[in-house]
Amino acid sequence: MAQTLQQIGADGETLVASYLQGQGVTIIARNWRIKEGEIDLVARDGAILIFVEVKSRSNSKFGHPLEAITPAKAFRLQRLALAWIATHDQWGADYRIDCAAVHFRQGLKPEVEYRAGVL
């Protein structure tokens, strides 16, 4: 049975969260939303806040997952990160915005491609 786009996205976020936890990173929020948009994962690596955009694909029909992060999306992610910082009174905290691509291929183990500090 084929997964829905929402299931693929949720499964991708779970895989990336597990990947980060395996690196010693603490996940502090998932799917944080305000009217302007959503941050998939908010994490902390020591004193650094990490905002993670996760893009998952079950095939390459629409290109590499990270190609879906347009300049407009990148700008929105920056605004959302600052909104999270303001909402959680974390002014002055060091932060970065990371991206992760999750490739789901039938019959193969999912692959996580992680890029730190790209936005």
Residue 68 is predicted with a pLDDT of 87
Cα separation of 92 and 83, whole Å? Answer: 13
- Tens-digit pLDDT profile for residues 43-95: 999 999 999 999 998 887 778 888 889 999 999 999 999 999 999 999 999 99
Q: Range of 34's domain?
A: 5-115
pTM score, two decimals? Answer: 0.91
Residue 25, amino acid: V
Give the Cα separation of 12 and 97 in Å (integer): 17
Per-residue pLDDT, 65: 86
**Residue 59 maps to which CATH number?**
3.40.1350.10
Q: How much is the pLDDT for 1?
A: 41
- Yes or no: say if 8 and 56 are a contact pair by the CB < 8 Å rule: yes
Q: How far is it, in rounded angstroms, from Cα 23 to Cα 109? A: 19
- Average pLDDT of the chain, as a whole number: 92
What region, left, alpha or beta, does residue 10 occupy, with left being phi > 0 and alpha being psi -120 to 50 degrees?
alpha
Number of domains in the chain: 1
